[in-house]
Amino acid sequence: MSVLANGTLIDNRYTVRGRIGSGGMADVYLCDDQHLGRPVALKVMHERFAADQSFVTRFEREAQAAAGLQHKNVVNVFDRGKVGETYYIAMEYLPGRTLKDVVNAMGALDPKLAIHITLQILAAERFAHAKGIVHRDIKPQNVMIDDEWNVKVTDFGIAHNPVDGDLTQTGQMVGTAQYISPEQAQGKPVANTSDLYSTGVVLFEMLTGKVPFDGESSVAIALQHINQPPPRPTAVNPAVPPVLDGVVMKAMAKSPVERYANADEFSQALERARDNLGAPAGKTEMRGAVAATPTAAKDNRKRNWLIAGGILAALLIAAAAYFLLVGNKQVVPNVVGRAAGDAQSRIAEAGFKSQVFSQTNKAPVGEVISQSPAGGKKAKKGSTVILNVSSGPGEVSMPDVEGLSQSAATKQLEALGLTVKVTQEFDSDIAKGKCTRTVPGVGEKAQKGSEVELYVSKGAKQVVVPDVVGQDIDAATKELEDAGFEVSSVEEDSEKPENEVTKQSPSAGAKADDGSKIKLTVATGQNTVPDVIGLAKSDAVGQLEAAGFKVKTTTTDVTDEADDGNVVSQDPTEGTADVGSTVTLEIGKFVDDGTTP
């Protein structure tokens, strides 16, 4: 299946807003949930995998596994289904940035911030591991960070439940090369400690700004994970507190049994390290020196000089540390609400760098909506301040609401963040009270918060029927069609000339639906010739003329006085004849032949 077009409606529920990510197994789309009125991330499996039952099983397992992981540090999974010939999972949409974005923007993070983030990753792993789920792809790209430095772990696309068996073939590497454990690199079965190794790699990258192993190919990097010891973080970034070296090196031990046994143990080690970050260098050694027992006065004097020197060194080191960690910090200016360009200038003037991230928001386009660190907080001079800048409220694709009730359509449009203006219009095809269209139209884009026009049918327009009786059929048809009607006709014999309209239904002056049909009766131009033999001349002529015929009369002698003045013969005598043709009548004239008494 090709990339889903914006505006595509999936399962009559999810309207595609755009593709926001793509991986080896699936594409991810930002969609609007029309039922619940919220944005969701729709993960759609690549169609080439849909025919492989093992991939489908893995994909379905992801949905089942992730749906059971309801935890504040794990992305929520809402729904799953089928689109075309492939499958999708509907997940919580997280508009923040990835941990990878943060490291790329800021470089090495403050150790306490790195610990704060790692503890949340481990909290997610602890919860998943308790459910029998191993993530198998822990990496900064799968860690979302919000403005308050809260963490959510995403993408259980290759999550594994050891109870179900491993779908990965022996020797097949699953995961991302820079972050996989040695056992993953060798295609061996994974366990909870594999996630802990990957978390150690992520912590290394946060502390140093670099990954411990890198190379030109995934295979080359995987071999380093298997064969080479990782560098200590302090060897890459001397500013890393040495106490964190041991934590990272234990997490990244080659053998799983040499690592932390579980996420709790890893977390406890980090918390201890965090508690010791404030201790000045040399403090432990100084205590040891004070605790030594003198054996001679000379030794005592020497020891006292050593102690004094140690105290002086400790004070100098503490002062240097204070300057580096505290004294070199500046107050971050508050730039929320300012234009991005102005905000960056103010940040630069205060001695900081800045990194801008766009985010949909109802604030005006280009306005800073949040910053990290927050305004008024202190941060190291020269460090990076992250600015989240409004890209506007965002666009939505207009849904098809034709045929819906006004209330249902309004609810659907308002759920997309739109304001609705209702306009009524006549429509002969759509029932009264049902929606006919929107402006903008179906599939077109509208800004969230903008007003859209919803048109609702008033039913068919009522139109007064014109009087077309007596008109020629062509003229009558044109007049009716110009008035918005359709026309049908039937022929009928009558006294009227050929093609003249003799009747109409509905009748003239009545009201009928715009677009409805008017039935016309049209004269054929022929009529039945009345039988008038025996009638008085005046009566016979009257009937024939009323039937549309002309009359010619002649007289003929009759000997029966009763026939005097009456029609004694006619031509034609029966059947039909053209209207306007002549009927000849013979009128009797009494002649007494002497036989009359």
Q: Is the dihedral of CA 196, 198, 199, 200 positive or negative?
A: positive
Find the helix packing angle between 243-251 and 192-208, rounded to 10°: 140
Select from 274, 202, 210 the least CA-distant residue to 241.
274
**Is there a catalytic annotation at residue 137?**
yes
CA distance 385 to 379: 9
Q: CB under 8 Å to 393, separation ≥6 — which residues?
A: 360, 361, 362, 417, 447, 448, 449
C-alpha 395/C-alpha 401 separation (Å) is: 18
Classify each residue of 437-466 as buried b or exposed e, where b means 16 or more C-beta atoms within 10 Å of its C-beta. Answer: bbeeeeeeebebeeebebbbbebbeebebb
Question: Computed from CA positions of residues 122, 373, 239, 145, in that sequence, does the dihedral angle turn out positive or negative?
Answer: positive
Distance CA 433, CA 163 (A): 56
The token pair that represents 536 in the structure block: 């008085």
Angle subtended at Cα 212 by Cα 209 and Cα 216, rounded to the nearest 5 degrees? 100
β-pair type (550-558, 9-10): unpaired
Q: Return d(Cα 230, Cα 253) in angstroms, integer.
A: 9
Query: Which CA distances in Å does 412 have to 321, 386, 402?
Result: 58, 35, 12
Side-chain-side CA neighbours of residue 563 (13 Å):
17
Catalytic residue among 32, 137, 195, 427: 137
C-alpha 144/C-alpha 327 separation (Å) is 32
Q: Is residue 201 helix, strand or coil? A: helix
Q: Region of 231 please: left (phi>0), alpha (psi -120 to 50) or beta.
A: beta
DSSP 247-315: HHHHHT-SSGGGS-SSHHHHHHHHHHHHHTTTSPTTHHHHHHHHHPPP-SHHHHHHHHHHHHHHHHHHH
Closest CA to 106 of 379, 332, 385, 389: 385
Q: What angle do CA 396, 399, 403 make, to 5 degrees?
A: 160
Candidates 58, 21, 25, 57; CA nearest to 41 is 21
| H or E element at residue 127 | helix 111-130
- Which DSSP state fits 115? H
- Report the catalytic residues: 137
